[in-house]
Structure 1
Amino acid sequence: MDEEWLEFLITIAGQLSIAVENAILFSDLQQSNRELAEAYDATIEGWSRALDLRDKETEGHTRRVTEMTLRLAEAMGVSGEERVYYRRGALLHDIGKMGIPDSILLKPGSLTTEEWAIMRRHPSYAQAMLSPIPYLWQSLDIPYSHHERWDGSGYPRGLKGELIPLAARIFAVVDVWDALTSNRPYRPAWGEEEALAYIRDQAGKHFDPAVVNIFLENYPEWTKT
C-alpha cells in the first residue's frame, strides 16, 4: 500500500470517527431534549392538578376539556405538531385564576359587578405568568384568549372573528360545553340536548360557526368512545 493511499484511508477513518462522534452527541442531545420536554410537560400537568385541587367544584374539568379540545382540533385538520401546543394551552387555560382571591374564586353565590371585574383579569394574569417562559410561547393562545367572543364582546381584548386565535376559538366551544354539562355551586348540570341547543344558538355570537359545525358533527361519535 503506497503512502498516499494510506494517508487517504487515515483521513477517511478520521472523518468517520468525527461523524460517529457527532451522531452520538446529536443522539444524546435529542435524548436530553426529550427528557427536558417531558419534565416541562410533567410540571405543566402538576400546575393544572394544583388548580383543580384548589377549586374542588371544577375538579376533572381540565382533563376533560383538554381531551375534547384535541379531538376537535384534529377533526378541524390541526396538525399533530400544533396539537401539542393546544394540549399545553388547554392544561393551563385557567392558570391565571391562581391570582384570583379565594373569596371570589370559591364564592358559592353570584359575583358582584366588582368581583366579576376581578375574575375577568385571569386571562391577563395567565399571559403575565406564562409569557416569560419561551417553552410556552406557542401555547399562550388558549390561556390568554379563550374568553374572547366571535362577535367581539369577550375579554380581555375584545377580539372579533378570526382575529381570535384558532386554538382559543376551538377551546371556547369545549370549555362552555363542559361547564354547562357539569354541576356548579350556582346551578345543576344542564342536560345534553339543552347544552347542544345552546352551543348551536351561540354560533356567530359567542362561537366561531365553523368550529360549532365541526363540534356538532362529531360530538355524537365522541360520546361512543
Structure 2
Amino acid sequence: MKNPNPFLKKIISRKNTAKILNDMSARLNIRILITDAGDNIIADIGRDGEFGNSSNSMVIYPINAGGDEQIGFVKGNEGCSLVASIIDCVAEIESDKRDLTSELLSKYREINLFYDFAENINIRKDFNDMAMLTSTQISELLNADSILIILKNENTGLLEVVFKFGADAAKYAPLKPEDAIIPERVILSGRAEIVNDLSTDVELARILPRRTGSVLCAPLRIQNRVTGAIYLIKENPIAYTSENLKLLMVFSSQVAAFIENGKLLQNLQETFISTVYTLAETIEMRDNYTGDHTRRVMDYSLAIGGNLGISGEELETLKLSSILHDIGKIGISDSVLLKPGKLTDEEFEIIKSHTLLGEKILKNIKQLNHIIPGVKYHHERYDGKGYPEGLGGGDIDLMAKIIAVADTFDAMTTDRPYRKGLSYDAAFSELKKCSGTQFDPAIVDAFIEAFPDIKEK
C-alpha cells in the first residue's frame, strides 16, 4: 500500500478542518470515511455513527482540487455530500495558494536574475564576457539548448554568428541557409518572433519539412537600426509565450547597447528600470482593464516629483517605487483581484495584503530595500485612516504619498467592467475634495499644477 496523499492528508489534518468534520459527524450522527485516490484511509470520523441501514446505502463522493483530477473520496451516507463539497472547496483554495506561491517564487527569481544581470554587465569590458553572462541568464530563464548572437556584416550583408552558447550550438556556426531564415526575417522586419513548432513555419518547411523544435528570436536594435539578433533554440518543441519573448527582448536591447559602445555604466539604471517595468507589466497583464496603468502611474509620479523639486537618486527611487508599487499583487488570487463587482470585507482584506506582500518580496533584494516605503505605504491616508499601519501626515513616506495620488487618479480615470472612468476634471475635483483627508494637500496641488505638461508629452 502506498503512502497516503500528503496534500489531502495536510488539508484534513488541519485543526479547523478537523473540527468542522468532527462537528458535522456528531450533529448528523454519521460516520465519515475519507480516503485518497489509492484508497488509503486519511480519516475515519465518528466510528460510532452510521453509514446507513445497509451496505447498499453507502455513497462515495469524489474529492477534487479545482480540476478534473480526483485526489480522494468521502464515503458515508447521503449526509456526506456536504462534507465532500467542503473538502473540495478547501482543496481548491489550497491548490490555488500553492500555484500562487509557485508564481511568486518564479517572479522573485526573475527579479533577482535581472538585477544580477544589470549589476554584473556593467563591469564586463570584453564582448565574450558580456555574451557569456547574457547567454547564461537567458538559458536559465528560458530553458534554451542553444543561444546565438548574430550580427549582420555591414560589408557583405551576410549574417555571422559572433557568439554561441550551448552543447549543440557549434552546429549552427557558420549559419546554414535554413538556419538563417528566421533571424533574417527578424532583422528585416525588426519584429521579434516565436515559433513553437518549426514544422509549421511555411518558409522553413519548404526546405526542411520535418524540422522540429521551438525558437525565440529578438532583434538587436542600435540607433533605430537592426544590426543583428539573439536566436534561442530548443531542439524539442516547447510552448514559449509572449512573456518569454518580452524577457528575451529585454536582454537583446542590452546586448545591442554593449555592441554599440562597449560602455554600460550610464545605462545600468535604465537597464534595471526596463527590467522591473517588464515584470510590473507582466503582473498588469492579468487584468485587461488596467492596460498601461504602470506607465501612467510612473509618469504621474515623476511629474509630481519634478514639480516638488525632487531630482537625482531620489527621483530614481520614486521611479522604481511607482513601477513596482503593485508588485505584491503577484500573490493575490485572480478570483479576488479581477472580481468585477464589489468586494466582500474578507476579499478587501486580501487585496489590502498586497502592500505587505510587496514589502516581503523587496526585503529579499538588498538593492531594492530603499523603495520599500513607497511600495508598502502607498495606501496610507493623510488622516491616518489608511493601511497597512494607519500612518498619517508627515509620518508617511514622501514617495508613498506621491504614488497614492498618482495611483488613485489613474484608477478614477480608467474604465472598469462595472463603471465608466471619470473625466480628468471630475477626478481633479475628487482629489481636491480628499485633499487634507486622504491625500497630502501639497501633493495634490503639485499634481494639478504639473498635469498640463503630462498631457503634452
Tell me the distance in 1 between the aligned counterparts of 2:310 and 2:420: 34
Distance 1:220 1:101, change over 3 A: same
Match among 368, 371, 376 for residue 136 of structure 1: 368
The residue that corresponds to 2:341 in the other structure is 109
Distance 1:221 1:40, change over 3 A: closer
Distance 1:133 1:34, change over 3 A: farther
Q: Does 1:91 align with 2:323?
A: yes
Shift, 1:217, TM fit: 2.1
The residue that corresponds to 1:169 in the other structure is 401
Tell me the distance in 1 between the aligned counterparts of 2:374 and 2:351: 17
Q: Does 1:119 align with 2:351?
A: yes
CA-to-aligned-CA distance 1:122-153 (integer Å, 9 cap, x gap)? 00000001111111112222211100000000
CA-to-aligned-CA distance 1:141-169 (integer Å, 9 cap, x gap)? 22111000000000001110011000011
| Structure with higher RCO (Cα < 8 A, 6+ apart) | 1
Mapped contact 1:110–1:186 kept (Cα < 8 A): no
Shift, 1:79, TM fit: 1.6
Q: Runs of 5+ in structure 1 lacking a partner?
A: 1-25
Mapped contact 2:326–2:375 kept (Cα < 8 A): yes
The residue that corresponds to 1:78 in the other structure is 310
Written as runs of structure 1 = structure 2, the 5 A alignment for 1:141-160 is 141-160=373-392
Tell me the distance in 2 between the aligned counterparts of 1:92 and 1:37: 15
Distance 1:36 1:220, change over 3 A: closer
Larger CA deviation: 42-51 vs 107-116: 42-51
Give identity over the alignment, percent: 39
Larger CA deviation: 196-205 vs 209-218: 209-218
Shift, 1:212, TM fit: 1.1
- Provide the aligned C-alpha RMSD in A: 2.0
Q: Does 1:179 align with 2:419?
A: no
Q: Which amino acid aligns with 1:116?
A: F
Q: Which amino acid aligns with 1:45?
A: Y
Q: Which amino acid aligns with 1:192?
A: Y
Distance 1:131 1:34, change over 3 A: farther
Mapped contact 2:325–2:374 kept (Cα < 8 A): yes
CA-to-aligned-CA distance 1:166-194 (integer Å, 9 cap, x gap)? 00111111111111111012211111221
Mapped contact 1:180–1:190 kept (Cα < 8 A): yes
Tell me the distance in 1 between the aligned counterparts of 2:387 and 2:444: 20
The residue that corresponds to 2:441 in the other structure is 209
Shift, 1:59, TM fit: 1.3
Shift, 1:42, TM fit: 3.2
Q: Does 1:61 align with 2:285?
A: no
TM-score normalised per structure 1: 0.82
Distance 1:214 1:27, change over 3 A: same
TM-score normalised per structure 2: 0.42
Tell me the distance in 1 between the aligned counterparts of 2:286 and 2:446: 33
The residue that corresponds to 1:40 in the other structure is 272
Tell me the distance in 2 between the aligned counterparts of 1:168 and 1:52: 20
* Greater fraction strand: 2
CA-to-aligned-CA distance 1:73-99 (integer Å, 9 cap, x gap)? 011011222111111111111110111
* Greater fraction helix: 1
Larger Rg computed on CA atoms: 2
Shift, 1:32, TM fit: 6.6
SS of residue matched to 1:140: helix
Mapped contact 1:169–1:208 kept (Cα < 8 A): yes
Shift, 1:36, TM fit: 5.6
Q: Which amino acid aligns with 1:201?
A: K
CA-to-aligned-CA distance 1:11-55 (integer Å, 9 cap, x gap)? xxxxxxxxxxxxxxx996xx5765664553333122111011112
SS of residue matched to 2:285: helix
Tell me the distance in 1 between the aligned counterparts of 2:267 and 2:304: 28
Distance 1:102 1:27, change over 3 A: closer
Q: Which amino acid aligns with 2:312?
A: G
Distance 1:33 1:223, change over 3 A: closer
Tell me the distance in 2 between the aligned counterparts of 1:35 and 1:218: 27
Tell me the distance in 1 between the aligned counterparts of 2:337 and 2:443: 29
Q: Runs of 5+ in structure 2 lacking a partner?
A: 1-122, 126-262
